[in-house]
Amino acid sequence: METIAQPTIFELLKKQFGYDSFLPNQEEIINNVLDQNDTIAIMPTGGGKSLCFQLPALALEGTTIVISPLIALMKDQVDALKANGIPAQFFNSSQPYGEQQQVLRELQSGNLKLIYVAPESLPQLNFILKIIKIGLFAVDEAHCISSWGHDFRPAYTQLKRLKEQFPNVPLIALTATADRATREDIALQLAIPNAKIFIASFDRPNLYLDVRPGQNRNKQIFDFLKNHRDESGIIYCLSRKGTEKLAATLTAKGYKAEAYHAGLTSEERTQIQENFTNDVSPIIVATIAFGMGIDKSNVRWVIHYNMPKNIDGYYQEIGRSGRDGMPAHTILFHSFGDIVMLRKFAEGADNEAYQLAKLERMQQYAEALSCRRKVLLGYFGEHISEDCGNCDICKAPPNYFDGTLIAQKVCSAVARLQEEEALGMVLDVLRGSQNAQVFDKGYQKIKTYGAAKDVPWRDLQHYVIQLLNQGVLEVYFHENGRLVLTPQAKRVLFEGKKVRLANFVQEIETVKIERAP
Ligand code: ADP
Ligand code: ZN
């Protein structure tokens, strides 16, 4: 055991990293690692994940192996460590042969405290790993191991063998995006069933959450910008052409804006990033290619011109604003046209059903009639009891009615269906549908069959979605989208907890179907 006395980790924090205190969860995570336990750390971007393995790397005997898919960022991270006098290296396919050999020699000498390696290059280290002392394995961006996740990387699947080969070396998996399903998958895939899971709060209370129908988006943007003249911001578009068109329109109106997308050369992209960081060109109109590794603290607003394909991406993107903790404004435009297009993108993918379920959740967020922050945090498994007061719904709440009875019926149906059925079937059962699938499964015999037959199908659907949004129910995306009760549902069913529901007011007919740019 290499437990280390409390003052020592504080000393390392101060001496090696120059910080006075830990960010939320860092200390607990580091202690868990130093106690030789496996760990899963879920922290929002900017939450300080790196320290959770860098500090233990110094406290533990041997070398810490950091597996990271972000080859482009490895050099910066290693340079930063070296600048603090910490012996570190990286190893990936972008290096010339000679440099790789040099790194291997350093690794073999046992003098490195950290080595960053791409998962694809890990097999090349295998031989040396067997003969040196390894302090810790750190799997960064661990959601890449889950085929349910949105960035699946096949090379991550071989990491399953780490625990077989090195059962006595502790392992820490870190990620900023993991719904409950992905989280469970990470533990399974990395073969760390007993890992302790730490989830830092994802709440960013300084971000104002604003969702609007996507009509006349350009006009809405210009109206917004009039009141945000000299601020820095990011507009996300779905297509490259869209970014260029909008950047040109903004420039014509006298704003300093540049387009950014994967079709530019890397020199162009570096230049644009620099212009943005230095406020030479404070507005960026970008595809999602933009943002990884951007550390600009004074981004005051983020606009989604098009709807993102899932909440994970959306939350990361809005999270690039307000890093300094000062108020920031986020606007999401949603339109039926975007949804149609995103559905097309998802169709035919290997994990089509999963992607479509995630998209549906995104759409439900956009159409939510309850506090947006509740919906967002609920998606990440964090359930807050109070409305946030800093979103469009809290600012202008709809008329609510007492939906407790409906909520009880829905929860009871979900319970009687053994939490095994997805939204469509739950609605069919509540509505007393004569559907063949209902009869095949014998659901016409359960007690809640037809319990809500007086509520129109569409209304009932919206009520169930509101229950999802309020954190009473949850969707298990990786298990056919089945609906599951949360602890809140139990309070609704057994403790008479009141539930507010709103009638769906948006008139679908008036939502113009727009072509995406
Ligand atoms: P993540 O990987 O979670 O996005 P990083 O590890 O890059 O986050 O850390 C985000 C920022 O927070 C960095 O600028 C880092 O230097 C800073 N940071 C990390 N830990 C601390 C701490 N204990 N005190 C102050 N700043 C910290
Ligand atoms: Zn709110």
Give the number of whichever ligand sits closest to the CA of residue 369: 2
Q: Name, in order, each residue with C-beta under 8 angstroms of 135's C-beta and a sequence gap of 6 or more.
A: 56, 57, 60, 61, 62, 63, 64, 169
pLDDT confidence bin for 450, thresholds 50/70/90: very high
- Rounded to 10 deg, the angle between the 404-416 and 487-494 helix axes is 120
The phi and psi torsions of 67 (rounded to 5 degrees) equal -100, 120
Tell me what pLDDT residue 229 has. Answer: 87
Ligand 2 centre distance from Cα of residue 375 (Å):
9
**And the tokens for 213?**
């129908």
CB 192 within 8 A of CB 163: yes
332-389 tens-digit pLDDT = 998 878 888 898 888 888 778 888 888 989 998 998 888 999 999 988 878 787 899 9
Tens of pLDDT, residue by residue over 411-422, are: 999 999 999 999
Smallest-distance ligand from the CA of 469: 2
Strands 196-199 and 400-402: what pairing?
unpaired
Please, what is the average pLDDT of the chain? 90
- The one-letter amino acid code at 436 reads A
Is pLDDT of 405 > 70?
Answer: yes
Question: Residue 513 CB: number of other CB atoms within 10 A?
Answer: 10
**pLDDT at 330 exceeding the cut of 60:** yes
CA 158 remoteness from chain centre: 23
pLDDT of residue 258: 96
Nearest Cα residue to 234 out of 323, 161, 158, 159: 323
CA of 252 to the centre of ligand 1 (A): 38
Residue 22 near ligand 1, beta carbon < 6 Å: yes
- Give the HSE-up count for residue 28: Cα atoms under 13 Å, Cβ half-sphere: 12
Q: Which range, of 14-18, 294-298, 302-306, 354-358, averages the lowest pLDDT?
A: 294-298
Q: So what's the pLDDT on residue 152? A: 76
Structure confidence at residue 337 (pLDDT): 84
* Residue 484 β-bridge partners: 474
Q: What CA–CA distance (Å, rounded) separates 376 from 137?
A: 31
Radius of gyration of the chain (CA): 25
Look at residue 511 in the predicted model and tell me its pLDDT: 38
Structure tokens at 432: 């007393």
Residue 172 and residue 41 in contact, taking contact as beta carbons nearer than 8 Å:
yes
Determine the average pLDDT of the residues in 100-116: 97
The pLDDT of 407-411, averaged and rounded, is 97
CB of 291 shorter than 6 A to ligand 1: no
ipTM: 0.97
Measured from the Cα of 50, ligand 1's closest atom is 6
Lowest-pLDDT range, 351-355, 451-455, 496-500, 513-517? 513-517
pLDDT of residue 131 exceeding 90, the answer is: yes
Which residues does residue 400 pair with via DSSP β-bridges, in sequence order?
502
Is the CB of 191 inside a 6 Å radius of any atom of ligand 1? no
pLDDT for residue 481: 81
State residue 487's pLDDT score. Answer: 87
Q: Is the pTM of this model over 0.80?
A: no
State pLDDT tens for residues 76-85. Answer: 899 999 999 9
Q: What is the pLDDT of residue 187?
A: 93
User: With pLDDT > 70 as the criterion, what percentage of the chain qualifies?
Assistant: 94
CA angle (234, 70, 339) in 5-degree steps: 45
**pLDDT band for position 8 (cuts 50, 70, 90):** confident
Is the C-beta atom of 296 inside 6 A of ligand 1? no
Indicate the Cα dihedral angle 68, 72, 77, 79, nearest 10°: 140
CA separation for the pair 99, 366 (Å, rounded): 49
Amino acid letter, residue 501: L
Residue 202 Cβ contacting ligand 1 at under 6 Å: no
